[in-house]
Chains A and B, each alone.
Chain A
Amino acid sequence: MEREDVLEYLVEAKESLENIESGLLNFEKTTLDGSLVDREILDTLFRHFHTIKGSSGFFGLSGIVKIAHAAENLLDYLRNKPSSQDEETLEILITALDLLNELVIHEEDSPTGGGLYSEEQNQFLQRSNDKLLELKNSEMDLSPNLETEPTKEEFGLFQKDEAKQSPNEEFGIFTNDVKQNVPEEFGLFQNDTNDSKNEEFGFFEPKQSDTNPEFGLFTANQVNVESKPTNSPTNNSKSKPEEKKSNQKKDIRIDTDKLDSLLDIVGEIVINEPMVTEHPDLKKLKLDNFHKSALQLKKLIRSLQEITLSLRMVPISGVFSRMERLVRDTAKKTGKQVELIISGEDTEIDKSIIEEMYDPLVHIIRNAIDHGLETPEERKEAGKQTKGTIHLTAVQSGKEVWIEVKDDGKGLQRDKIIRKAISLGLINHLEAENLKDEEVWDFLFHPGFSTAKEVTDLSGRGVGLDVVRKNVSTLKGFVDVSSNFGQGTVFLIRVPLTLAIIEGLVVRKSETYFILPSIDVKESLYIKEEPIHELYRNNHSILYRENQISIVDIDLLFGKESELNNHHSIQEKYMIVAESHENQMGIVFDEILGNQSIVIKPISPLFKNINGLAGCTILGNGHAGLILDVRKLINQHMAIQST
């Protein structure tokens, strides 16, 4: 078996495991509210485990097969005896998932042929076996009991979870035999009774006797139709898998390298198009038909570019659904009750950004549960529901995606944060009083700032929100926090839709082309014979709108001697006034070529130690252009000057 095939399969297996995870979380939700899990969920879970078992067997990954097989056995048993499910079986299934994940990752990193390698894994097999036996034994004990409590089943017409269908109970008196007559007698029950307009009577369906002779009157369909308005818990568990199905798109897995080379080539075509259609050789010729065709080609190339760029966009749901598990585990560890409500998971965003969003979200959500939400007792005291909620929402706003994590916990404590800030020497007592709330909350992002009293295994390890902010700002995004004491905290992350394209000003300094992101450029000026004041070596200033601002050249920004030392006036040069945190600075260039949409490409890791460059691009003339990280350059330069 080729190693590559195995790797490819493992990616697939991971996807199945993700499906299992969401299935298990659904399972858990229904278990916790005391109802029996849906047959459909069990079937889906069983199918996924079965797929993993089968395919892994094909690749000879025996460990995965064993674990999946154990889980499959349990599930199969549950399918037949749904009444025997309990939290322990669920726990075992979740352990199975974790072990499978472990095995898949282990196999990916170090191919060992897929056997079990840890004691825990072997123990799991034993444990799941024991559980299965235990279930089977208890069934024997219980079986007489089952017979003695048939009160509900006597009526035959109620589903097992009839309690939740209270509005329908009235009709329970119709028996199988009656059913056929009912439509005729009352005239209300027609063949199309399950149409939405007749929802009230929806559970009398002509065909149902085939599928479910015992409980003849209630079919699966009806329960859905019926339960929508009543919003019973069964509905939640049922409609979810269905929604997922309808969302399923046809897709195909593509190697990102291939995708990147496609993007490169499309980028080249876009650049080359004007080189051809506006070729200088054609200038003096009268070519009406050519221009028509050229125009058509231009349009096509534009849409080609748009489509290729959209290829990198994926819905954020992948990352969001991973949070469900996190919430579950964290809630368990902290003993808090938490409900995660996700919305906007279809929002599309560049894949590379999505991957970077995972860690910040984990951090914020963990914080929200650990620090933000109160314990059930505290919540009761505060007059809140014992179960806390966390809303995780994504919306697209212009060229940005806003991701919001909102909890209804106790909120941030101004005093506590200020005390901490004072103790860290960030502010003094006098300043503290005049701070606005936002300024106080901002301290949370300060490195090493943690208000946690003790270090738990969840938080307080000093790896704080500063890392979150750092991660988000490398994506050119922002994190803000707002809070109402007693009502909760909101974290808002704003990130660009895609990192691939920015608007930039293209300039030239001798042979090298640079791009300054338009967002950082305040103004560009042509300067001639403007006096430059040399304060001291490598430190010059120029008059800009009644202010003296620093004027530098690229050499100086990159730590070399400034050319300005040799000239006291600039001749026929351009100055770009750039701004960072209210600091303005003039940067001198030879020529300004104009504004352009720039496709950002990473600089080779060889140059990783170079600060001040945000990436590379290819310009219309075929040259590579360097994208300046203007803010960093300015900050760095200011820092050197002030020392």
Chain B
Amino acid sequence: MNTTSKSWEIIEDEDTMRDLYLCFSIENRFYAFEVRYLTEILALPAITTIPGTAPFLKGVINVRGKIIPVMDVRLRFDMEFQPYHERTCVLLVELDGHPLGLIVDKVNDVVKIPAENVDLAPKIGESKSSRFIYGTGRVGDTVKILINLQRLLTQEESNLIQDIPGN
């Protein structure tokens, strides 16, 4: 991490990282997740597709000698695939010690959403894409959709992969 910049040093402190969210957008919706999961933001490198996986797992990328799987968040949310462009980003996050790249349309900014501005999502059935969302956060006049990163990789996926013939 960049230690020459003072602001980073402060952010490294766990307490001040609380309530900070990284915002990105897909189509015209704004999503956010807790910044403490984020390790790095990358321009989209070459992706090596892995045959036989779920479509939203796009494949793997090389990040300075480390091989990291990437997921297309758009496909994960059952939205239509859009070709990647120069603003397409990979957000490197770490979940349970495993790095994962999230492909998103556009990264916006880091905002502070204090706990009192977070409303937990009402449980409306078992809707497929709502399971990734745990609440909404009010920031000024806008509302960010808060993502539960852990849920992006739940058990269902492994089942999904197993269902593919030949595996």
Q: Are A613 and B50 in contact (CB under 8 A)?
A: yes
Contacts of A602 in B (CB 8 A): 67
A7 at the interface (CB under 8 A from B): no
CA–CA, A637 and B166, complex, Å: 8
Q: Are B67 and A603 in contact (CB under 8 A)?
A: yes
Interface 1/0 per residue, B156-167 and A, CB below 8 Å: 001001101111
Q: Which of B46-81 contact A (CB under 8 A)?
A: 46, 48-53, 57, 59-62, 64-69
CA–CA, A187 and B124, complex, Å: 105
The distance from the CB of A256 to the nearest CB of chain B, in whole angstroms, is: 13
Contacts of B45 in A (CB 8 A): 622
Nearest A residue (CB) for B162: A609
Contacts of B49 in A (CB 8 A): 511-512
The distance from the CB of B38 to the nearest CB of chain A, in whole angstroms, is: 18
The distance from the CB of B160 to the nearest CB of chain A, in whole angstroms, is: 9
Q: Are A609 and B62 in contact (CB under 8 A)?
A: no
Query: What total count of A-B pairs have CB within 8 Å?
Result: 100
CA–CA, A153 and B68, complex, Å: 74
Q: Are A623 and B62 in contact (CB under 8 A)?
A: yes
Give the number of residues in A that approach B within 8 Å (Cβ atoms). Answer: 38
CA–CA, A59 and B100, complex, Å: 37
The distance from the CB of A593 to the nearest CB of chain B, in whole angstroms, is: 14
CA–CA, A265 and B65, complex, Å: 6
A161 at the interface (CB under 8 A from B): no
Interface stretch (choices A349-357, A479-487, A554-562): A554-562
Q: Are B65 and A606 in contact (CB under 8 A)?
A: no
CA–CA, A607 and B98, complex, Å: 12
Nearest B residue (CB) for A605: B98
Contacts of B52 in A (CB 8 A): 558-560, 610-612
Nearest A residue (CB) for B96: A605
Q: Are B166 and A557 in contact (CB under 8 A)?
A: yes
Decide: A559 near B167, CB < 8 A? Known: A604-B60, A624-B48: yes
Contacts of A637 in B (CB 8 A): 166
A601 at the interface (CB under 8 A from B): yes
Which of A513, A605, A623, A636 sits near B166, CB closer than 8 Å? A636
Interface 1/0 per residue, B127-163 and A, CB below 8 Å: 0000000000000000000000000010000100110
Known: A558-B52, A616-B48, A624-B60. 13 other contacts (CB 8 A): A557-B51, A557-B166, A601-B66, A603-B67, A603-B69, A604-B100, A606-B98, A609-B158, A611-B166, A616-B67, A622-B46, A624-B67, A626-B48
Q: Interface residues, chain A, CB within 8 Å of chain B?
A: 261, 264-265, 267-268, 511-513, 554-555, 557-560, 601-613, 616-618, 622-626, 636-637, 640
Q: Please, could you name 27 A-B residue pairs with CB atoms under 8 Å apart, sorted by A? A: A261-B65, A267-B65, A511-B49, A512-B59, A558-B166, A558-B167, A560-B51, A602-B67, A603-B60, A603-B67, A603-B69, A605-B98, A607-B50, A607-B69, A609-B158, A610-B52, A610-B161, A611-B167, A612-B52, A616-B67, A618-B62, A623-B46, A624-B46, A624-B59, A625-B48, A626-B50, A637-B166
